[in-house]
Amino acid sequence: MVDHVIMRTAEIAAALAAVERRIDRACANAGRSRDEITLVAVTKTFPAADVRALAELGIVDVAENRDQEAAPKAAECADLPLRWHFVGRLQTNKARSVVSYADVVQSVDRHRLVTALSAAAGKAGRSVRCLVQVSLDESAGAGEAPAPGGDRRGGARPDEVPALADAIAAADGLELGGVMAVAPLGGDPVAAFDRLAGVAARLREHHPAARVVSAGMSTDLESAIECGATHVRVGTALLGGRAAIVR
């Protein structure tokens, strides 16, 4: 391997070790076992070479948020034993492409997307695990316009989750995995992740197998683990800062 590849792999290895220490400590503090948590590496804006380095270091779960970027990256990494998660806003006309590489779509937030993903999974002969993305922002309901300068992060309102979950569970080619959320900017992450835990518990009353709670990112993974997350999605703490992306 050329020197810069070796150096980049060493840099990622050190970052991964630090993230693993944070997860271990959070599990110990919460009285949970490390094997209850899946670390999902968010590789958006980073090259396929970084995905390859992560795979060499034992990472299995990787996530992307834009189809235009994810599709070629997944194709470049098709030889690796990876599970691809889609975590971004998803337009129905991209469902077919996303289903061609994604094993998990974490950002299902409306019925039209369930229909599109089910049709695409059927055509591809694939089974796709879906999580209902829940909006934890109490000030803005799903479907509302973002506040001026604000960033509506997507997600169904908590009261919309049961019907959406039922639709996923009933759809051909889709499997209901659980829920996902992003903590609102500037809020208390523990309060937000506690609300998500409540939504997840109510979901499990009707769908006991839907046990995934995907919550927590680089800055708040400890709060998420404290509140029962099964999956943390970590980008910056593993791969470094991202250049601003226009969405």
Ligand X SMILES: *Cc1c(COP(=O)(O)O)cnc(C)c1O
Q: Which residue is nearest to ligand X (CB)?
A: 235
* Residues between 196 and 235 that touch ligand X (CB under 6 A): 217-218, 233-235
User: What torsion, rounded to 10 degrees, do the Cα atoms 220, 226, 228, 229 define?
Assistant: 20
| Cβ within 8 Å of residue 202, ≥6 positions away | 161, 162
Q: Please list, residue by residue across 190-213, b when 16 or more beta carbons sit within 10 angstroms of its beta carbon and e when fewer do.
A: eebbebbbebbeebeeebeebebb
Residues 183 and 202: beta-carbon distance below 8 Å: no
85 binds ligand X (CB under 6 A): no
Q: Using CB under 6 A, count the residues that bind ligand X.
A: 12
CB of 220 to ligand X, least distance (A): 9
Binding ligand X (rule: CB under 6 A), the pick from 65, 135, 223, 230 is 65
Binding ligand X (rule: CB under 6 A), the pick from 53, 59, 87, 181 is 87
Rounded Cα–Cα distance for residues 138 and 192 (Å): 9
92 lies in the site for ligand X, by CB under 6 A? no
| Distance of alpha carbon 201 from alpha carbon 173, whole angstroms | 24
Among 12, 16, 37, 42, binds ligand X (CB under 6 A): 42
| Phi, psi for residue 180 in degrees, rounded to 5 | -140, 150
Query: Cβ 98 to ligand X, closest distance in Å?
Result: 14
Q: Nearer Cβ to ligand X, position 63 or 173? A: 63
Please give the residue ranges that form the binding site for ligand X (CB under 6 A).
Answer: 42, 44, 65, 87, 182, 217-218, 233-237
